[in-house]
Chains A and B, each alone.
Chain A
Amino acid sequence: MSDVVEKTLTALPGLFESQTGAAKITNRLRQLIKSITELTSKHEEENLIKRELSAIKEQVSSPNTTMKQMREIMVRAMYCEMLGYDASFTYIHAIKLAQQGGVLEKRVGYLAVSLFLNEGHELLLLLVNTVLKDLQSTNLIEVCMALTVVAQVFPKDMIPAVLPLVEDKLSHPKEIIRRKAVLALYKFYLIAPNQVQHIHAKFCKALSDKDPGVMASSLHIYLQLIRESPDSYKDLTGSFVTILKQVLGGKLPVDFNYHSVPAPWLQIQLLRILSLLGKEDQSTSELMYEVLDESLRRAEMNHNITYAILYECVKAVYTIHPKAELLEKAARCIGNFVLSPKINLKYLGLKALTYVVQHDAKLALQHQMTIIECLDHSDFTIKRETLELLFRITNAQNVTVIVEKMLDFLCYVPIKTLTFAPDNSWFIQTMNDVFSIGGDLLQQDDPNNFLRLLAEGKPEEDDQLRLYAVESYLTVLKGHTSHLPQCFLQVMSWVLGEYAHLQESVDRREVIRLLTQLLDQRSVSSETRVWILSALTKIPEGQTDLILDLAESLSSSQDTVLRQQAQELRHLSQDSQLREWVLVENSCAVDSSLSFLDGFVSEALAAGAAPYKPPHQRQEELSLNLEPYSFSLPVSLSSCSITDRQSPTLLSVSSGLSGNSAELSTLILEGVKRVWGKDGYLPQKEATAPPVDEPSAAVQPASQQEAAERIEPRPEPSTQNQDKQQLASSLFVGLGVGSSVSLVRKLFYDGFTASLRGNVMDCLEARSTSVCHYALLMDDPHTNVSLTGTVSYQTQPGHTNTLPFSGTLSTADFIRPLVVTTEEYGKLWLSLSHDVKQNLKLLTDAGDPLRTTLNALKDALQLHVVDIIGSEGIVACRLLSGAPCLLHCRVNGAALAMWLRSPHPALPDFILYHCQRALAHH
């Protein structure tokens, strides 16, 4: 694979003599390199470089040093800095070299500057004039190197000085100059976006430059711009698609190929841009389906680089608005990756799978055996990536097995996983393991979140959990405690202080004794001591003698904080009135309205301070907020991955202060008993087949035996295999449950089914006519329903006439307004779990776009507009005698961000579809 020839050190002397390949190398540099290759110890290195640096110092200050020698000196200084030794006295000479040297020296001077000086280094100011001069040089090479250094390091404040010159270069006849100018502007955009605001039109020109290199450089800018605001660049989608098509079609010159693949890195860049543009935008996504399909098809060649492109393509397919056919192809591609014998491809396959299971957890089912194998892989990186994948498919049924695997691996258990805990004792026990093994490696937030989870539950429900925690911690503390990590000790003391009183059988003296014992331990940090003392303060009165002893012993402590606390403890234990006043029972109650600040606030307002705005309003002004309200629900992972295409950031357990971490505050204990789901195990033969969408009425094995029996047909399963299969079935349970995206889409295209219910309401008798009313109800939403039927009637006895009739109804015909108050709406919203988000067109032809749009929807679809506040509106409707659907609309730039929720999994999709149509036809 490698073409690099290793020239061994034994060949060195010969090389030095002959000087091949480096003919112009001077004596001193050669000597330095030779000495470096001969180094045997750090000490020797230090001496060598010290000598070298003093030699350099002498040389640079000599007036006889030529520019040519200076160039060599710079390379020597680069060596010194590369080995980690400061050569800052040469920096000024690097700038001089760039200023005064001939072309080659100048380049080395610029190179040294970019290696030595960081952005913001004051010496850079001295470079500005040189750069200005070189940018105006008639020598292309000089212009080139000036542009390179400008794009690497350039003082931010001096950008205006060079900007006009750099802009000029955008229309330079030489492609390399144009290319470098674009890259310099990209850099300016990154460090000072305001400076380049006016030249967006020029970026656009660069994108359509006839030279592919210039075009490719402009993609860096566009990737950045689109990442920041995708909506503003949707109109460019067509251009990016065309470029990608041309690249795929081999329209670029051959020297852009890498191993016969046309411009692979350019393709990757384009795919990234497309996926950003198509994210949550159906109409834009539709523009790119064809080219993505082609990109997937072209990847037949078996080379690493095609797989790198494929990976990016698969990610794009799963990021943009889904298309069943593409999803299927992409899923097959992932199969090729994970099943590959090449380890690098397997890794990338797992990474891709980790990404896509967030959108469709069932994909993991197809590869369950591979995943199991990777879990026991000898390669740490592979194992780690597999755990990441498992973490994303954790649900109530498989949590015990997955967490066990994670604990085995290392203490890598994201606390969020544990919200699926099957029962209290398991939860506390696992947390004990996490704290004692992982200990101080845990993120700061983890213990805090755990405590919050304990504290925020309702007293009746979670007392059980708290009791269990108290018991468990007392047992832990009775054992050896010196090895326990500080954060675990802190957690335990907090819990004991707060909840020890719940357990009536516990002797309080015992608790105090155990905690005091901890205080005496050397290994306990002073921070932990503070926690312990706080806990002791909270333990109810009655044990004054013990407390006073303790306070006494601590009053001579060298730690002032402890001494202070001991003082407080003594006062509190002697003054029961004060104690009652200070330590209110259930001290967790927080005055969330902060009413005690009212006085302060009104004073501040009177003094002219700006009124407080809740965070979501503040974000609104920055137009960053994508979520209507800050409430969030304990949603199970599987439903999350289906409904929320915004790839939830699962790994980071958010900090205690943000509203979103509310998910942590409840343990999801539903569905605990059902351990073996219908998708427990799928034999490997089916692994390549697309996921089965059968309704969940199917098999539901009750025990492990049954599940094992079901897999019998496999030829001679070894015991090891069986183990793996069992592991598989316990890891992947509960993944296929619930409707998936593809299922919903399928309903979309199905014309009609027989799920309408009809009853005769009444028949009006008359002489020659009878009028019959039927009520049709829609149980499951469909876009369109064709209604066909026949009427049989007799005009003469014995002779029956039959008249066929037909008609088409749409969901819209079954939608009725749902009249609720804002408050009821809020409650209902929280209770609904199926949601869909999408940006819709905003009707902007009138003064109040939001109101106009909502009224248009109301007229077209019989929706009930509940309330409009500022740029947000809430709307409600329901299926005739059926499920409700709530719509939350918010003006987001030129679009209407709509968030729909309903108890019915498919209903939001249909309502959305009709809203889109209604607005399109308006």
Chain B
Amino acid sequence: MIKFLLMVNKQGQTRLSRYYEQVELGKRASLEADVVRGCLARRKEECSFVEFKDYKLVYRQYAALFIVVGITENENELSIYELVHNFVEVLDKYFSRVSELDIMFSLDKVHIILDEMILNGHIVETNKTRILAPLLALDKMAES
């Protein structure tokens, strides 16, 4: 099961966070700081999975941005690693080459995309066309 998904930049600033299991607001900042520290401490040649408290972190770096997913022990790390890439490919498709600023300016839309892919910590859709369909429909209605 997926516990959370974070987008954090190299400076440790959170750009997006989605928790699938309740974490108190007050504890999130320190948890995110720990997560970033855990990932930044890793070298390139080390594997993309880190043990963290009682779960595992799967992280993937895109330019200055880290996408980190917290998962339970019984998850398949590599499939989550690829899920992250699928997510980025979807963002790329929607924003036509996504950047950190796109994510910041369209925080709500990135969330809407993510909601189509992951629900309650489960992977529910990975088909790019279908992930984007609701958001594209919304955009169309907003234009007209």
A and B: partners? yes
A379 partner, pick from B46, B76, B99, B112, beta carbons under 8 A: B46
B120 partner, pick from A141, A152, A307, beta carbons under 8 A: A152
- Are B108 and A86 within 8 A (Cβ)? no
Q: Nearest CB to that of A257 among chain B residues? A: B127
A5 partner, pick from B51, B63, B105, beta carbons under 8 A: B63
- Contacts of A75 on B, CB cut-off 8 Å? 107-108
Say whether, besides A33-B105, A107-B138, A111-B115, A381 and B49 are in contact (CB < 8 Å): yes
A183 partner, pick from B17, B45, B124, beta carbons under 8 A: B124
How many angstroms from the CA of A691 to the CA of B88 in the assembled complex? 44
Say whether, besides A4-B63, A255-B129, A381-B49, A348 and B77 are in contact (CB < 8 Å): yes
How many angstroms from the CA of A263 to the CA of B122 in the assembled complex? 15
Q: Which of A339-347, A593-601, A809-817 contacts B (4 or more CB under 8 A)?
A: A339-347
- Are B115 and A148 within 8 A (Cβ)? yes
B12 to chain A minimum Cβ distance, whole angstroms, is: 11
Say whether, besides A213-B130, A304-B78, A2 and B104 are in contact (CB < 8 Å): no
Say whether, besides A15-B101, A84-B25, A144-B134, A378 and B46 are in contact (CB < 8 Å): yes
Asked if A823 is at the interface of the complex by the 8 Å CB criterion, the answer is no
Say whether, besides A213-B125, A258-B82, A104 and B120 are in contact (CB < 8 Å): no
Q: Nearest CB to that of A378 among chain B residues? A: B46
B111 partner, pick from A3, A111, A255, A348, beta carbons under 8 A: A111
Determine the interface band of chain B, counting residues with CB < 8 A from chain A: 35 or more
- Are B138 and A103 within 8 A (Cβ)? yes
A22 partner, pick from B14, B77, B106, beta carbons under 8 A: B106
Say whether, besides A33-B105, A78-B108, A151-B119, A347 and B77 are in contact (CB < 8 Å): yes
- Are B79 and A265 within 8 A (Cβ)? yes
Q: B59-86 vs A: 1/0 string, CB under 8 Å?
A: 0011111000000000011110111001
- Are B99 and A4 within 8 A (Cβ)? yes
- Are A220 and B25 within 8 A (Cβ)? no
A103 partner, pick from B97, B104, B142, beta carbons under 8 A: B142
Q: A14-49 vs B: 1/0 string, CB under 8 Å?
A: 010000011001000010010011010000000000
Say whether, besides A308-B82, A382-B47, A82 and B17 are in contact (CB < 8 Å): yes
Asked if A7 is at the interface of the complex by the 8 Å CB criterion, the answer is yes
The A interface, classified by DSSP as helix, strand, loop or mixed, is helix
Number of interface residues of A (CB under 8 A): 79
Chain B stretch 8-44: residues in CB contact (< 8 A) with chain A:
13-14, 16-18, 22, 25-26, 28-29
How many angstroms from the CA of A381 to the CA of B45 in the assembled complex? 12
A344 partner, pick from B47, B64, B92, B119, beta carbons under 8 A: B47
Asked if A800 is at the interface of the complex by the 8 Å CB criterion, the answer is no
- Contacts of A776 on B, CB cut-off 8 Å? none
- Are A141 and B138 within 8 A (Cβ)? yes
B contact set with A: CB distance below 8 Å: 13-14, 16-18, 22, 25-26, 28-29, 45-51, 61-65, 76-79, 81-83, 86, 88-89, 92, 95, 97-102, 104-108, 111-112, 115, 119-120, 122-130, 133-134, 137-138, 141-142
A-B contact list, 9 entries, CB within 8 Å: A2-B88, A3-B88, A4-B98, A21-B105, A79-B107, A86-B25, A103-B138, A141-B138, A379-B47
A contact set with B: CB distance below 8 Å: 2-7, 12, 15, 21-22, 25, 30, 33, 36-37, 39, 71, 74-75, 78-79, 81-84, 86, 102-104, 107-108, 111, 114-115, 118-119, 140-141, 144-145, 148, 151-152, 176, 179, 183, 187, 190, 213, 217, 220, 255-256, 258, 263-266, 268, 304-305, 307-309, 311-312, 343-348, 351, 378-382, 384
* Besides A264-B79, A344-B48, A348-B77, 4 other A-B contacts (C-beta < 8 A): A4-B92, A103-B142, A141-B134, A256-B127
